[in-house]
Structure 1
Amino acid sequence: MRAFTEERDWGQFHDPKSLILALVGEVGELAELFQWLPADAAADRAREGHLHERAGEELADVLIYLVRLADILDIDLGTASLRKLRSSSSRFPTAQFHGQAPDKT
């Protein structure tokens, strides 16, 4: 992603705010694909056909902007993800939360 950006001299447009707004926009486009699908049928419908193709395109856009943002902020996504999973594992122990959504109250 960095090389792609540098080849086009797009780095001048890739400040954190702009990348976050682009990322939010792409998440919105992904959400739009699923907005009116019944929740219990969405995964099945997205596994094939036009919706599958479009979901893949939007997921790729989300990933590209996320990776670029991490690059600009000098964040190793692999390390940050593992750290977050370890933290979540201790906050939500399996014995206490198995099959249950955390209560946000």
Structure 2
Amino acid sequence: MASNRRLPGVLRQFAEERDWQQFHTPKNLAMALAGEVGELLAELQWLTPEQAAAVMDEPEAGARVRAEIGDVMIYLTRLADVLGIDLEEAARAKLAEVAVRYPVEQAKGSAAKR
């Protein structure tokens, strides 16, 4: 399986082989991503917090959640690639920003938004 660093190239090639890059505009990819996130949410929507935490213990439900997370990853990765964004770099930069906004000594154990 491709590492997260190689996945953009694998997905780019997949789209090019099918001549799909013409459809992979930022708007279309963002809309597709939102749709897939909705499908993931639908799998968890009516579960209790305990059921949601254990969803992967249920073979059928776990397979559906895994598939939806795969779809989310594919569209997020394609969107980032089309926009020229390195996902890992973007996530690390965001984490550094959040660490400043939520220092451990002030945020530990609190879900309060700043």
For normalisation by structure 1, the TM-score amounts to 0.94
Structure 1 residue 13 and structure 2 residue 9: aligned?
no
Question: In the alignment, which residue of structure 1 is the partner of 2:107?
Answer: 97
Q: Deviations over 1:67-91 (max 9, x none)?
A: 0000000001111111000010010
Question: In the alignment, which residue of structure 2 is the partner of 1:39?
Answer: 49
Question: In the alignment, which residue of structure 2 is the partner of 1:51?
Answer: 61
What are structure 1's unaligned runs of at least 5 residues?
none
Q: Cα distance, 1:42 vs. partner?
A: 1.1
Task: State the distance in 1 between where 2:84 and 2:112 align.
Answer: 31
Question: In the alignment, which residue of structure 2 is the partner of 1:74?
Answer: 84
Task: State the distance in 2 between where 1:43 and 1:79 align.
Answer: 29
Q: Which amino acid aligns with 2:39?
A: E
Q: Cα distance, 1:47 vs. partner?
A: 3.1
Matched residue count: 104
Task: State the distance in 2 between where 1:2 and 1:103 align.
Answer: 37
2:34 to 24, 29, 38: 24
- Runs of 4+ with deviation above 2 angstroms: 45-48
Question: In the alignment, which residue of structure 2 is the partner of 1:4?
Answer: 14
Q: Deviations over 1:34-74 (max 9, x none)?
A: 11001232111333311110000000000000000000000
Question: In the alignment, which residue of structure 1 is the partner of 2:70?
Answer: 60
